Amino acid sequence: MKPEDRFVEKLRALLPKADAVSIGPGDDAAVIAREAGLLVATTDLLVEGVDFFPGEDPERLGRRAAAVNLSDLAAMGAEPEFFLLSIAFPSAKGDSFPLAVARGAIARAGAFGAQLVGGDLSSASQTVLSIALWGKPVGSLLRRSGAAVGDRLYLSGHPGEAAAGLLLARRLAAFADQGSAPTPRFPEISAGDQRRLLEAYHDPTPRIGLGLSLSRERLASAAIDISDGLGVDAGRLARASGVRLVLEADRLPASSALFSFAAMEDLDPLDLMIGGGDDYELLFAVRPQDEARLEEHAGAFGVPVTRIGRAERGGGAVLRDSRGERDVAELGHDHLESPR
């Protein structure tokens, strides 16, 4: 269990039992039963030097901060409504910095129907962005805890691209520090693939359309976003559901951009896919009898989905290939471990 998961367990022990809290700490977002109906709420911090590079474009940062939070609502099957944005930043950056962050967040969240309603500013030596976002359920909530033995495991998009994008961005930043042109080309990888990987890291797309479809059509028995890494987040879904998740290596949807990058850097694409992190894709479980309906609705998801494995009796998350199985439930990021 990751330090962050242990923290959540300790925290839960501190909390009084509250009838209004349907889902408290430990899922992608909280669900609160108010007299006036269910509310789904989430919050995420982005810290300079930990979650983003110093000196990154502030508008893109704002977009990314919004996307990270939107992804949590996608993973619950909730429709985004409103958000609060707080920014701690070195005052030497001036007024234009938080305004640009806000502009990016407003645009990104606005595209999915969520409006900025307030926030806070403070000076700080290190930039920290904090967003709290809430929305409402549209169908059955997508919890982490509903997967059953025999369910099929599905994944949206192409994991590992964000991790590849981060490594590529670091290479480019190192070139820039040496005074080279800002976007040097690597001959081993096409310009289009480079853009694709960089965008996967810098400007991820939250899977709101997919989450809402799964929720509305009751297609998924459980879901989680894999922002910390496919391995560790599969482990979380397995633990919450009380099943063992088996990921099949030859089913994982590696993109050609990822393959090109991994070949250039002499990395195993599987390592990037399983433990890379920063992929705002959804991992979800589907009952065997719902698979046909899933395919019927796939056109509305806005992203391809791939069957990558299944839930079995037991616990943990493993990757299976021709040589056997290996444990992947600890592979990924923990925000309490040292900076990336």
Task: Give the residues lining the site for a second copy (CB under 8 A).
Answer: 3-4, 6-7, 10-11, 14-16, 18, 20-21, 24-25, 29-30, 32, 34-37, 39, 41-47, 49-51, 81-82, 84, 86, 88, 91, 95, 98-99, 102-103, 106, 110, 115-126, 128, 130, 132, 134, 136, 335-339
Shorter beta-carbon distance to a second copy: residue 71 or 194 = 71
Shorter beta-carbon distance to a second copy: residue 89 or 301 = 89
Nearest-approach distance from CB 52 to a second copy, in angstroms:
11
Shorter beta-carbon distance to a second copy: residue 32 or 240 = 32
Nearest-approach distance from CB 315 to a second copy, in angstroms:
24
Distance CA 218, CA 86 (A): 35
Q: 327: Cβ–Cβ under 8 A, 6 or more apart, which residues?
A: 316, 317, 318
Shorter beta-carbon distance to a second copy: residue 44 or 193 = 44
CB neighbours of residue 19 within 10 Å: 6
Distance CA 42, CA 27 (A): 10
Shorter beta-carbon distance to a second copy: residue 228 or 279 = 228
Nearest-approach distance from CB 81 to a second copy, in angstroms:
7
Structure tokens at 65: 């901060």
Q: How far apart are the first and last CA of the chain?
A: 19
Nearest-approach distance from CB 106 to a second copy, in angstroms:
6
- 272, 166 in Cβ contact below 8 A? no
Shorter beta-carbon distance to a second copy: residue 17 or 323 = 17
Nearest-approach distance from CB 42 to a second copy, in angstroms:
7
DSSP letters for 65-86 = HHHHHHHHHHTTTEEEEEEEEE
The DSSP call for residue 27 is B
Give the three-class secondary structure for 208. helix
CB neighbours of residue 134 within 10 Å: 22
Nearest-approach distance from CB 91 to a second copy, in angstroms:
6
Distance CA 7, CA 249 (A): 31
Q: Which of 51, 112, 74 is nearest to 226 (CA)?
A: 74
